[in-house]
Amino acid sequence: MRAIWKGAVSFGLVNVPVRLFSATENHDVQFRQVHEKDGGRIRYKRVCAIDGEEVAYSDIAKGYEAADGQMVVLSDEDMKSLPSRSTKEISIEKFVPSEQIDPLLFDKSYYLEPDKTGLKPYVLLRDALEKADRMALVTVSVRSRMTLAVLRVRDGVIVLQTLLWADEVRAPEFESLSEETHATSKELAMASSLVDSLSGDYVPDEFEDDYAEAVEALVASKIEGGDITTTPEAEGEETEVVDLLAALQRSVDKAKAAKSGSPSAAPKADSADADADSDTPAKKTTAKRASTAKKSAAKKTSTAKTATKKATSKTGSGTVTKKAATKRAS
């Protein structure tokens, strides 16, 4: 496991250096949205609802929608003015009886591992929690925002469990349960008998996610039978570009390959390639994708061919430049 936070538990005058680890992980089955015809991934663009134009990350701000529907745009300066806590301290406020914390309030769970220098005070806090049969109510700032949490012990390890705020728990308001209705003594006796017949201990490994297993078995059978959709790379997209430097390096490599006359380089056009060296990467990409079309149309007039290729090159160059600028802004 990898620590996601480092800090210390403040226990009176004692500080316990600890590292925070996620105690749970999601094994839910994840599906991708794809085009049924060819298996291509469905991608979404950031489009403004007013003018319909695609918006770059650099032009996106935080907005808060008021109760009446009005939108308030918050700048970076506005966000900096909000209270923010970045202290690396888990401050124990009080020790409360375990039964007073409703499980409905529990949010996320984390393991606390002590540093070597904090092993002794860690064990002291752990044993004190177990002996008192209480939970330590704490405040902590994991991602700059302060939240409530509790410390409890599980299998000899201190667990930090964040809590929902009181106003985040909904009140159950159901009209059908408003009346004072109770089971009869005979019905209650039969229900109690059923409870006794089904009583037992909770063994986590006794239950399995049969849906996930069924999905895995189904996918494995399709792969074994060759029922696989080969998805070609979408045209006109530069995927997995980390930043502008990576995009520029890729363009330089393509330009060098074209000048050296390597087999992967696009063949030079009489006048189009000589007019603009900066268009080489886009031309190379366009030449590869249109190689089949070129072969079938080889007998066409060279004048129409050159004009079509030049227009395509300019379009491809604009696409690469635009995508590189978008990545730089992100």
Secondary structure of the chain in HEC code, one letter for each residue: CCCCEEEEEEECCEEEEEEEEECCCCCCCCCCCECCCCCCECCCCCECCCCCCECCHHHCCEEEECCCCCEEEECHHHHHCCCCCCCCEEEEEEEEEHHHCCHHHEEEEEEEEECHHHHHHHHHHHHHHHHHCEEEEEEEECCCCEEEEEEEEECCEEEEEEECCHHHCCCCCCHHHCCCCCCCHHHHHHHHHHHHHCCCCCCHHHCCCHHHHHHHHHHHHHHHCCCCCCCCCCCCCCCCCCCHHHHHHHHHHHHHHHHHCCCCCCCCCCCHHHHCHHHHHHHHHHHHHCHHHHHHCCCCCHHHHHHHHHHHHHHHHHHHHHHHHHHHHC
Regarding whether 158 and 256 lie in a shared domain, the answer is: no
Least confident of 46-55, 179-188, 246-255, 280-289: 280-289
Write down the pLDDT at residue 306. 43
| pLDDT over threshold 70, residue 76 | yes
Q: Is residue 272 part of a domain?
A: yes
Q: Is residue 73 part of a domain?
A: no
Mean pLDDT along residues 61-65: 90
Write down the pLDDT at residue 126. 93
pLDDT over 70 for what percent of the chain? 69
Which of 147, 166, 185 terminates a domain? The answer is: 166
Kindly state the tokens that stand for 219. 């996918």
Regarding whether 270 and 137 lie in a shared domain, the answer is: no
Regarding whether 251 and 149 lie in a shared domain, the answer is: no
Q: Where does the pLDDT of residue 13 fall: very low under 50, low under 70, confident under 90, or very high at 90 and above? A: confident
Regarding whether 145 and 14 lie in a shared domain, the answer is: yes
Write down the pLDDT at residue 248. 61
Report the half-sphere exposure of 5 (CA within 13 A, side-chain side): 21
pLDDT over 90 for what percent of the chain? 27
pLDDT tens digits, one per residue of 113-165: 999 888 999 999 999 999 988 999 999 887 667 889 999 999 999 999 999 99
Write down the pLDDT at residue 85. 57
Regarding whether 124 and 254 lie in a shared domain, the answer is: no
Mean pLDDT score of the chain: 75
| pLDDT over threshold 70, residue 84 | no
| pLDDT over threshold 50, residue 241 | no
Which of 141, 166, 191 terminates a domain? The answer is: 166
Q: Is residue 129 part of a domain?
A: yes
Regarding whether 130 and 15 lie in a shared domain, the answer is: yes
Write down the pLDDT at residue 48. 92
Mean pLDDT along residues 178-186: 83
| pLDDT over threshold 60, residue 321 | no
CATH of the domain at 148: 2.40.290.10
pLDDT tens digits, one per residue of 251-300: 677 777 777 765 444 444 343 343 434 444 444 444 444 444 444 444 44
Regarding whether 109 and 22 lie in a shared domain, the answer is: yes
Range of the domain at 128: 5-26+83-166
Report the alpha-carbon angle 216-220-222, nearest 5.
120
Q: Is residue 276 part of a domain?
A: yes
Regarding whether 133 and 14 lie in a shared domain, the answer is: yes
Which of 166, 189, 220 terminates a domain? The answer is: 166
Regarding whether 262 and 155 lie in a shared domain, the answer is: no
Q: Is residue 312 part of a domain?
A: yes
Regarding whether 106 and 17 lie in a shared domain, the answer is: yes
Q: Is residue 196 part of a domain?
A: no
Regarding whether 162 and 253 lie in a shared domain, the answer is: no
Q: Is residue 259 part of a domain?
A: yes
Split into its structural domains, the chain has a count of 2
User: Quick check: 134 and 150 in contact, CB under 8 A?
Assistant: no
Q: Is residue 225 part of a domain?
A: no
- 203: Cβ contacts below 8 Å, ≥ 6 apart: none
What backbone phi and psi angles, to 5 degrees, belong to 171? -85, 130
Write down the pLDDT at residue 108. 92
Write down the pLDDT at residue 159. 96
Regarding whether 248 and 109 lie in a shared domain, the answer is: no
Least confident of 5-9, 102-106, 144-148, 195-199: 144-148
Write down the pLDDT at residue 204. 81
pLDDT tens digits, one per residue of 201-217: 888 888 887 888 888 88
Write down the pLDDT at residue 235. 55
Please state the pTM of the whole predicted model: 0.56
